[in-house]
Structure 1
Amino acid sequence: MSSQTRLHGTELVDCARANAKQGIETAAYQCVYGDDLNTFAQELRKACEEMNLQAKELTDLIIDQDMMLNLGEGEIVAPDSDSQL
């Protein structure tokens, strides 16, 4: 892990969002912050502010679409092909 660079900015937000459901420890580890949860949280807040995202907690990064996919609810409506609308 020492050879990897900690993520920042949009890369940090994307990684944290992708791992948010597994908890802060997993998200911090995957974003190369190891067990330094305080620095991870500070950098994530900073990155969210720079992107004008209103996320006070890691779970705020989980968007409604992600939650619907996990719940198995809803129906996906899409054309059969690119040429059919």
Structure 2
Amino acid sequence: KVGAGHGDIVVPALINALKDSDSWVRSKAAKALYSIGLGHQDIVIPALINALKDSDSWVRRGAVKVLGKVGAGHGDIVVPVLINA
């Protein structure tokens, strides 16, 4: 798994990559958060919610998928956002 055991370092870097000028980088960052976002929901969820506004549909799709996983247990925050996405 990408970044296994190094989430405290990798997660912030991936969140930063969600702001990259290249949509491919943003999309891959969202997908990578799927693997290591658990345990870091406090910073991952807000970043993914912001990624739902991305101009690229692949980035938005990746953000939805990851929110479905890392947002488990945080339905009060995630569900309304996904309904309105």
| TM-score (structure 2 length as normaliser) | 0.35
Q: Which has the larger radius of gyration?
A: 1
Structure 1 length as normaliser, TM-score?
0.35
